[in-house]
Amino acid sequence: MADNKEQITTDTILESISDGVFTIDTSFKITSFNRAAEAITGIFREDAIGLPCSEVFKSNMCENNCPLAETFKSGKAVINRNGYIVDLEGKRLPVSVSSALLRDREGHIIGGAETFRDLREIEQLKQLRARERYGEMETNSEAMRKVLSMVPVVAPSSATLLILGESGTGKEVLARTIHQSSNQKEGPFIAVNCGALPDTLLESELFGYRKGAFTGADQDKPGRFALATGGTLFLDEIGDISEAMQIKLLRVLQEKQYEPLGSRKSEKSDARIICATNRDLEALVKKGTFRQDLYYRINIIALTIPPLRERKEDIPLLANQFLGRYNILNNKGVKGFSPAVYAQFYAYEWPGNVRELENAIERSVVLSQSDEITINDLPQEIAQVAPSIETPTQINLIEEAKRATERDFIVRSLLRNNKRVAAAANELGIHRSSLYRKMEQLKINLELL
């Protein structure tokens, strides 16, 4: 009776956990298979029980590096061995596997237990972090495509670059993308917001200081130029620095040398410099607040990122990228946007550009109570803007609106069908290969749904 109770408790626990668990006998045939194992592998327990575990699990570890075989041999548990399994559609799913022996009351080995954790979300999070760090710019807009087409051209050069664009357009993301495509990509990418620091602080931040240079300087501190050695130094808001700093910066750019505060010795700098500003430098030069020689020195190659209002074709692409990201980061399952939300997105002028769109979507995902973002979830200023009568820009956007609707339609069908492309294609009345093509065109990533 007590044994029976114990068994029921164990079964209940196994059924309720999110890790996949199966047990095998000593001939590696499956004897139990929990609910999470069914969900992760896509195989029902009645199909799995009695079969060799390798034919159910289909992992890269089965043939050459099996944790259970190792446990049987050594008697020791294997903890968190990372690998992948291949699902029924040929997709690799990253998993972390642990194994242990099963013994009867007398201590005889009667089999083994393997638990496995689906690492897809963790992998996706890693990718998202990597994307934030390195920048992965995609676009549907012709204007933006022109800018991005310059990346492989300018990246290998060591010439100073100037990135222009309104606040929030993604100047730093573009700078990181250039760094990642450059010859010094193995080196560091160091970003400094020149507008955020007063002169004295900026100087010590950029050039560093020697011990005793000023009160409190009790040890040498390398500046950003030194830290960026062998890499890229990104100087944001360059239009906001004082004239004194402009002179110092001009010298570094011309002579590739600088002196840390309190040092008499010049240091060499080989960092590639990328400057950026949201201000009209030419106008500042005319006004006399920005040195003409520095302007010419940094304006060797200039890339201008168009504001979001001039590339509204990118709104669906960016919106869905952000939706996927914040769904994962907030553990939410919002599947898409209502058509009315897109109408507001197109009507709004986005003074804060891509950053504002990202913030709006993050907020909407956090607040959303349903599986769709509605106007009620949007920030007030976006929700309240009146979709105007068609302007020439909006007429050009009809195609984009159609794409967005089509995308939304396909995404819903995929989610309804548990992300099974064949089933979704059947429901939509198109061939599976056509659906794959459409998904590629519309940048639908099954992993991020």
Q: Which of residues 7-46 bind other proteins (CB under 8 A)?
A: 41-44
Least spacing, CB of residue 341 vs other proteins, in Å: 34
Contact with other proteins (CB under 8 A): which of 17, 201, 422, 446?
422
76-79-84 Cα angle (round to 5) = 125
**Rounded Cα gap, residues 406 and 425, in angstroms:** 13
Distances (CA, A) of 200 to 66, 135, 213, 224: 61, 31, 12, 14
210-216-218 Cα angle (round to 5) = 50
Contact with other proteins (CB under 8 A): which of 26, 52, 109, 434?
52
Question: Dihedral of CA 428/432/434/439: which sign?
Answer: positive
Among 55-63, 197-205, 300-308, 322-330, which window interacts with other proteins (CB under 8 A)?
55-63
Contacts of 350 (CB under 8 A, 6+ apart): 307, 308, 309, 356, 357
**Rounded Cα gap, residues 365 and 255, in angstroms:** 50
Least spacing, CB of residue 222 vs other proteins, in Å: 42
Shorter beta-carbon distance to other proteins: residue 89 or 282: 89
Shorter beta-carbon distance to other proteins: residue 31 or 299: 31
Shorter beta-carbon distance to other proteins: residue 40 or 275: 40
Shorter beta-carbon distance to other proteins: residue 159 or 446: 446
Structure tokens at 426: 């059947």
**Rounded Cα gap, residues 421 and 439, in angstroms:** 10
- The owner of tokens 């950003």 is 224
Shorter beta-carbon distance to other proteins: residue 59 or 232: 59
**Rounded Cα gap, residues 312 and 357, in angstroms:** 11
Among 15-23, 48-56, 336-344, 381-389, which window interacts with other proteins (CB under 8 A)?
48-56
**Rounded Cα gap, residues 30 and 37, in angstroms:** 12
Indicate the pairing of strand 336-337 with strand 372-373: parallel
Structure tokens at 272: 């590639």
Least spacing, CB of residue 186 vs other proteins, in Å: 24
Shorter beta-carbon distance to other proteins: residue 15 or 55: 55
Least spacing, CB of residue 70 vs other proteins, in Å: 16
Shorter beta-carbon distance to other proteins: residue 3 or 46: 46
Q: Count residues binding other proteins (CB under 8 A).
A: 30
Buried/exposed 285-305: b ≥16 CB within 10 Å, e otherwise: beeeebbeebbebbbeeebeb
Question: Dihedral of CA 275/352/323/403: which sign?
Answer: negative
Contact with other proteins (CB under 8 A): which of 1, 5, 63, 108?
63
Shorter beta-carbon distance to other proteins: residue 40 or 192: 40
Least spacing, CB of residue 42 vs other proteins, in Å: 6
Distances (CA, A) of 265 to 210, 211, 230, 257: 11, 14, 20, 10
Shorter beta-carbon distance to other proteins: residue 91 or 279: 91
Contacts of 321 (CB under 8 A, 6+ apart): 138
Least spacing, CB of residue 65 vs other proteins, in Å: 9
Contact with other proteins (CB under 8 A): which of 60, 96, 229, 417?
60
235: phi then psi, degrees, rounded to nearest 5:
-105, 100
Contact with other proteins (CB under 8 A): which of 48, 95, 319, 404?
48
Structure tokens at 399: 């195609």
Indicate the pairing of strand 221-222 with strand 109-118: unpaired
Contact with other proteins (CB under 8 A): which of 426, 427, 444, 449?
426
Pattern 68-107, binding to other proteins, x per CB under 8 A?
Answer: ------------------x-xxxxx---------------
Structure tokens at 151: 């990346």
Q: Does 139 bind other proteins (CB under 8 A)?
A: no
Among 52-60, 285-293, 389-397, 435-443, which window interacts with other proteins (CB under 8 A)?
52-60
- The owner of tokens 């399952």 is 333
Q: Does 47 bind other proteins (CB under 8 A)?
A: yes
Indicate the pairing of strand 92-103 with strand 109-118: antiparallel
Structure tokens at 205: 């931040």
Among 16-24, 324-332, 363-371, 425-433, which window interacts with other proteins (CB under 8 A)?
425-433
Among 143-151, 156-164, 385-393, 431-439, which window interacts with other proteins (CB under 8 A)?
431-439
Shorter beta-carbon distance to other proteins: residue 22 or 337: 22
Shorter beta-carbon distance to other proteins: residue 13 or 88: 88
Residues that bind other proteins (CB under 8 A): 41-44, 47-48, 51-52, 54-60, 62-64, 86, 88-92, 422, 425-426, 431-433
